[in-house]
Structures are given as C-alpha cells and as structure tokens.
C-alpha cells in the first residue's frame, strides 16, 4: 500500500503534467489557427493602414542644449600611454624620451606633514585611509592598475583655455605618462590616437595640470566663471569622456561647497565643489559648467563603492584653477607657495576655546627648528589670532593667506601665549624649498612602560596612564596613555587611538608624573571643561594636539 504522501505526490505530478499538456495543446491549436494549416498562406488585408511619416524637426532647445553646443567643441579627450620600464630605460639611454614624466604623487594618507598645514591629530583618526579607498581619483585605467611589463593606457578629459592649444586637465590624468594624445571634438574618427601633447607643468597639491598641443588654427575655448558665485542648488553640467564616450553631457546641481576629502597635508589646498551631476571613469579633467556656460570647476574625484557613479562627485573650483594655471604658464612652470614653518591643529573644540580664552584662531602644534616661525619666537601652544591685523578664522584661512604670499616677504602675526597678546614679524619662505631642506627626521622608537596599576582617572575619564619609561627624552614630561575605554569621556572627545602618546598638561597645568596627573584629575568636577595636550613621544618637538570636552 502506498502511503498517503506518495499518492498525493503522484496526483500532483499527474495534475501538473496534465496542465502542461493542455497548455501545449492550446498553444499548438492557437498557432495553427493563426498561421493556417500546413502549406496554406493566409492573406491579410492592410489596405486601410496609413503609412508613417517623419515629422519636421522641432527645436526644443533648453539651456542645457545651448551649453552643450557652446562648450562642447572646447572639451577634449585625453589618452595616455606609459611604457614598460625596460622600454623607458632604453629610451633614456638613446636620448629619445617623448617627454619628462612628472614624479609620482604621495601615497594616499602617507604624505609628510607639511608646515602651515592641517594636522590630523592623534585621536579619532582611525579609518581615514579606508575612507579614502572610496574616493576614486583615477577615472581611467591608471598606470598602477596593470603589470609593469605591459604598456599602460589611461583615458581622461580636459578643456581648452587658450586658442593656441593650452589645455587644463587633472595631474592624475597625465601623471607618469610617456605619451599623451589629445582628440578634439571635431576630429574625424579613425585619424589615429590624436594630437601629441606636452606637459607645461603640474601642481600635485591641487591635482591640476596644463598641457599643450600644436594647433594650425585658433582652437575653440571655454569661458571661465567665478566659482565663488556658485551656490548650493545651482544647476551645473559636466562634459567629458566617461568610459571613452567623448562629448558626453550630464546635468545635476551643486550639492555642497568647500568639501575636503583628504585629511592633513594632502587636503589643505583641495576644497572641492560637490555635485550630483553624473561623472564616471574618463570624466577626470573635464569641465563643470554653470547655466551661463561658464566653467566653475574641474571634475576630479568621485565617492564610490562600485568604481562608478553614485551621485557624489567633486570638482576643483575655477578660481583655484586660474591661480594654478597662471603660475604654471609662468617662467618657472610651477606653483610657488609661501610658508612660515609650523604645523597646527585644524580645529578646536568649544572646551578648548573656553580654557584657552579664544574664540577664533589657530593653535600652533609644532614649530620647525631654524625656520621663520622659530626665528620669530613662535612656540607650540601659541594661538595665532591675526595676520597683519586681520582676524584669522581657522586653519584654512591661515594656509590660504600664507601660501599666497611671495617668498622673501614678511607678515605680522598676532598671537596669544598664556592668555597674553603678542605680535611677531615672520618672514615667508618657499614651501617646496623648505620641505626639501627639512626632509624627514624620525626619532627612536620607545617601548611602552608596563602598567603600574589602575589610573586614578580611569573611572571618571576612561583613560589608563602610567609614568614615562626611564629612557624617555629628558625634555619630555607627562604621563603615557596606555588605554582608552570605549564609550567613555575620553572616547567621546576622540582620544581613542592615542595609546602610546603622552599627556603633558591638563587644563594648561603641566604634568610631570602620574602623581601630579592624578592630583589634577581628582579636582575635576561634573560640568568642568577638560583639555589635554597630547604629544607624540617620537616627535616631541612638534608640539602637541589639544583634545577636550565638558565632563558629564
């Protein structure tokens, strides 16, 4: 006897087969009815069908249409080739190099701290290198993505700013290339790789480059606009060659302004216009255009988790482009920026402002020995408040002002030290020359001292500290941070990640050992502002980072 389950299964299969058979039979009958019996042709009368006609073209021109027609002819496609190392060496020996390739840019997140730059701080900065992975600057197939024994090709965009053939693009489009070719919008298909181009100059700090092609006639150019006039919500158009599709036009709005996507030194000269106009691999170097047909930015980077468009793109503002371009086409073909030889903390919390008695300004974190700021008497912990009598808003304001000044000139800085106002006349030095002179000087690594018991501040602040090891530099004082408790007060003020650093003062009171530290901490009350000065023991001369908050 078959079980009930087996009988039901057989019945279900039989029913299914019957349904499919019935459907098949119905399809067959319907097919015969529609097409007639074998061999017979069914004539269909379509004499009542009216033929279609192509209507006269209608002009539906919009502002986008006009912009595409006006700007499109000045937008170019750039393709580059980087030869294998063996061929490069052969060409060097034979003196046949096509051009001098620019040097490699610094590794993401690994660049040296420049003076006058923003410092990343010592706490709460973990994971920034990972975040940078989402920012895809190499819109084409970049040289770093292929083996060294193969020729590398990359694609990008650019736009003509001078009828003699001068073109603005991104540095990363032409970086390390041995051959650069430019295709104009009106070049016929099949005419080879394009017009050979040479590099006039590059500026890695802003990721901009100027290249030139020889032209037998005046070339169409773009109109440059004032990027300061761009407002969040304005319509903008991106034009370029995504995936090699030349002359592609996309539209969106200005989503935000003054975006910095890289922390520290690499991002201090990069304050982007953010847009949701679709830009993709190959758009790099192309223009971002306002509704007046003026270029307000150079499409440079995208935020993506898929290597494609996800609604967030970044363009270098046109005002920055003008300054960089004018410097590059000058006699030296490079951008010269001023410096005074300091590092500083990019932002300060409200607690730091209250404890140090400042509402605006820049806290000096480190002073490079022998450089202008050091010679003028500035010290770590000073708060720069004015430049030639003008109030300093923040670190970006300081960098913008100092870097724009010519080496050899001087500037008067107003600053606070221990609550007292002072001034100093500081000389301006060439930033690049100063960096070359300084180089990198690393200190000896120091081992963490063993745990000497539970810190007095652990329960209140969430910090475990210990005395400095016996081999600490004589000039260094304070207590060594051993641990930061997740979710604690210290964690909330971004001290996570400061393990191995040294607390040298609390609320401007110097700390020389654990006993002094515990005494200061024990006097803190709920609602008190607490500000720590934290120093890297490997680079104690660089000054410290101020981290603070209000105790709950």
Report the SS3 class of residue 410. strand
Q: What are phi and psi of 268, to 5 degrees?
A: -70, -20
Task: Please pick, among 227, 241, 284, 339, the residue that the annotation labels catalytic.
Answer: 284
| CB-side neighbour CA atoms (13 Å) of 197 | 32
Strand intervals (E) in 428-528? 429-430, 463-467, 479-484, 502-506, 509-510
Length, in residues, of the chain? 552
Residues 6+ apart with CB under 8 A from 487: 462
Please write down the HEC assignment for all residues of 178-246. CEEEEECCCCCCCCCCCEEEEEEEEECCCCEEEEEECCCCCCCCCEECCHHHCCCCCEEEEEECHHHCC
Q: What is the DSSP letter of 540?
A: G
CA distance linking residue 436 with residue 57, whole number of Å: 63
C-alpha dist (Å) from residue 195 to 219, 240, 264, 334, 546: 13, 17, 38, 24, 54
Q: What is the DSSP letter of 261?
A: -
Among residues 384, 377, 380, 341, which one has the least CA distance to residue 504?
A: 380
**Residues paired with residue 117 on neighbouring β-strands, in sequence order:** 343
Q: What is the DSSP letter of 94?
A: H
Question: Catalytic site residue 284?
Answer: yes
- Do residues 157 and 172 make contact, with C-beta atoms less than 8 angstroms apart? no
DSSP state letters, 34-46:
HH-STTPPPP---
C-alpha dist (Å) from residue 71 to 66, 89, 131, 200: 8, 41, 34, 23
On the 0-12 / 13-18 / 19+ scale of CB atoms within 10 A, 471 is: exposed
CA distance linking residue 134 with residue 130, whole number of Å: 8
Q: What are phi and psi of 212, to 5 degrees?
A: -140, 140
Task: Please pick, among 152, 172, 271, 477, the residue that the annotation labels catalytic.
Answer: 172
Q: What are phi and psi of 13, to 5 degrees?
A: -65, -40
According to DSSP, the β-strands at 479-484 and 544-550 are: unpaired
Neighbours of 121 (CB within 10 A): 21
Neighbours of 28 (CB within 10 A): 10
- Do residues 185 and 73 make contact, with C-beta atoms less than 8 angstroms apart? yes
Sign of the Cα torsion 124, 128, 130, 135 reads positive
- Do residues 211 and 199 make contact, with C-beta atoms less than 8 angstroms apart? yes
Question: Catalytic site residue 195?
Answer: no
Tokens 């098949």 correspond to what residue?
24
Among residues 379, 375, 309, 318, which one has the least CA distance to residue 344?
A: 379
Question: Catalytic site residue 207?
Answer: yes
As annotated, the active-site residues are 172, 207, 284
């Amino acid at each position: 006897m078959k079980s009930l389950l087996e009988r039901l299964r057989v019945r279900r299969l039989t029913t299914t087969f019957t349904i499919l058979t019935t459907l098949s039979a119905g399809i067959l009958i319907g097919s015969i009815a529609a097409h007639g019996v074998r061999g017979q042709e069914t004539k269909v009368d379509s004499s009542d069908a009216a033929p279609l006609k192509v209507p006269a073209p209608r002009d539906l021109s919009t502002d986008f249409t006009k912009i595409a027609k006006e700007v499109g002819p000045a937008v170019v496609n750039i393709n580059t080739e980087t030869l294998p190392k063996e061929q490069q060496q052969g060409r060097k020996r034979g003196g046949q190099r096509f051009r001098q390739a620019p040097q490699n840019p610094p590794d993401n997140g690994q660049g040296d701290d420049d003076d006058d730059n923003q410092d990343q701080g010592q706490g709460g900065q973990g994971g920034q290198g990972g975040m940078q992975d989402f920012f895809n600057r190499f819109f084409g197939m970049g040289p770093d993505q292929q083996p060294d024994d193969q020729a590398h090709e990359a694609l990008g965009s650019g736009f003509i700013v001078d009828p003699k053939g001068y073109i603005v693009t991104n540095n990363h489009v032409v970086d390390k290339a041995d051959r650069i070719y430019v295709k104009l919008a009106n070049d016929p298909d099949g005419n080879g790789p394009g017009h050979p181009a040479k590099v006039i100059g590059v500026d890695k700090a802003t990721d901009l480059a100027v290249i030139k092609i020889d032209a037998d006639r005046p070339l169409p150019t773009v109109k440059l606009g004032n990027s300061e006039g761009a407002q969040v919500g304005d319509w903008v158009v991106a034009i370029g060659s995504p995936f090699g599709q030349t002359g592609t036009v996309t539209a969106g709005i200005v989503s935000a302004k003054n975006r910095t996507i890289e922390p520290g030194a690499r991002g201090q000269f990069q304050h982007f216009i953010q847009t949701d106009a679709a830009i993709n691999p190959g758009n790099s170097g192309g223009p971002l255009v306002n509704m007046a047909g003026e270029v307000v930015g150079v499409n440079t980077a995208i935020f993506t988790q898929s290597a494609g468009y996800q609604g967030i793109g970044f363009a270098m503002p046109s005002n920055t482009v003008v300054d960089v371009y004018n410097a590059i086409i000058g006699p030296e073909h490079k951008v010269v920026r001023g410096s005074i030889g300091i590092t500083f903390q990019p932002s300060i919390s409200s607690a730091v402002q209250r404890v140090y008695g400042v509402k605006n300004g820049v806290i000096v974190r480190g002073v490079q020995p022998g450089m202008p700021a050091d010679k003028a008497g500035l010290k770590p912990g000073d708060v720069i408040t004015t430049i030639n009598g003008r109030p300093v808003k923040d670190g970006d304001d300081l960098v913008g002002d100092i870097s724009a000044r010519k080496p050899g000139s001087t500037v008067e800085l107003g600053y606070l030290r221990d609550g007292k106002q002072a001034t100093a006349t500081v000389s301006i030095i060439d930033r690049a020359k100063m960096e070359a002179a300084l180089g990198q000087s690393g200190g000896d690594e120091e081992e963490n001292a063993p745990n000497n018991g539970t810190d007095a501040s652990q329960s209140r602040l969430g910090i475990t500290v210990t005395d400095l090891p016996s081999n600490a530099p004589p000039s260094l004082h304070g207590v060594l941070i051993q641990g930061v408790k997740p979710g604690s007060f210290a964690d909330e003020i971004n001290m996570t990640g400061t393990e191995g650093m040294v607390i040298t003062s609390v609320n401007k009171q110097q700390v020389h050992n654990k006993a002094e530290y515990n005494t200061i901490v024990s006097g803190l009350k709920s609602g008190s502002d607490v500000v720590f000065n934290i120093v890297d023991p490997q680079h104690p001369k660089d000054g410290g980072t101020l981290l603070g908050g209000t105790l709950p």
